Structure 1
Amino acid sequence: PVLFPFGYGLSYTTFTYSNPRVSATTFKDVEGVVVSVDVTNTGSLPGKEVVQVYVHDRKSTLARPPKELKGFAKVELQPGETKTVSIPLDFRAFAFYHPGHQRWITEDGEFDILIGASSADIRCTQTVTLQSTLRLPSLLNRESTAREWMEDPLGRPVFEPVFRQISDEMRRLMGASGPESEGLGMDVMGMLMDMPILSIFYFAQQALPQTPEEMVDQLLSQVHSN
């Protein structure tokens, strides 16, 4: 185990954190948010405390650390004194580098704002909702899997009807009907989710009005025209 966690510091006094708050619970990435907390020196000696703000992205398309330090501020307090510490978080506090887009991006979603004295000593938590102002082009291509199409906001409306049609056709060819048919349909869709859609179209090309390549290119054309 780590002896001293990130952000840890020694002190001759003790501090309590209270009344955590944010300037907005829902905001756009270009607006940012201000995180505030009241800090009280509860010991018998004067001291300084470094208030740290970490951000946790609840659902990112790429893997991110569970806590990322995004701001901090030092406050000096006399015994029994309380001060409000405010730390602004801007666009970059919620952004991450996306190698596909080759730039820093933000995504819509919920974030936990963690306020503490170190990475292992979190005293308060607030949850906020970020609204991204970015309009990013789709990264879908011929080799993208069904799962990637279904998770893409531009790709899903185009691909889902075709995907369900293929699943229904495969279920029909297997001779399933009734409740058994519904369960088999879910199994088929689950099996196909991690396959490139070009491979899926080759597998089910008898049910398609075009060649697999033409079908994929048509879907990509619809996505990139949006």
Structure 2
Amino acid sequence: MLVRQARPGKLFNPWVGLGSRKTVQTFMESEAHQAMLLEHSRGKRGDALREALNRAFATPYLNEALISLGKIVSAVQRWSVIKWSAFTALLMYLFLPTLVAYLRQGMMDFEHGRIYLTVPVGLQSVEQLQYSLMGIASVHGVAMACIAPVGMIVGYLWRKSWLKRRFGRPLAAWSLQQQRLRSRWIIGSLLTLVFATGLLLAAPVWITQDEMLFGVVPVHEALQQLAQLRR
């Protein structure tokens, strides 16, 4: 069952952690399997690992089990980084216009009667795209650069906690020792910035002069509350 959960088709599932949870939990209930991870963390490999376990398992079985566990944990790690990057980018997309409104730095578009709370963008040409990217970096860059790594660190702490609760402490400790479980905050932060920039390019946030978000949702009370906080 463990090997089946480590097949490529299973690992491409973004919810691989939930899908393999019962199988891994059942596998890790065995004290012998827990001892296997402990001895492997101490550097035992192959026949040496088998001897350390009093020959309770065949060497091919041990190798197969370790490889399968490694693949599952790596897949959980990979998908978790991607999902936390997307989640952080969404929070960033919601926070940036709030920050601009709080600082009263909205950008007026007199032609369309709009007040942009994120940088207005143009995608009709390469020059406009470059100008839009430069504008996003100039106006929102500092806030984005601060939020992205914080989201990745929170995601890493959540990932460690989730692995301990769902898969057990022995597997969590082994994953850390084997560097299967890592923060990946640099890669995750870059991915977050890509996602967030894509959102800002696809749907810049604006309100009308009568304080209707995207011309549809009234946000007068929210803006009033931000004004009170500023005081």
* Same fold at TM > 0.5: no
Q: TM-score range by the shorter chain?
A: under 0.3
Q: Tell which has more relative contact order, 1 or 2 (C-alpha 8 A, sep 6+).
A: 2
Give the number of the structure whose residues are more often helix, by fraction: 2
TM-score normalised according to structure 1 size: 0.25
TM-score normalised according to structure 2 size: 0.25
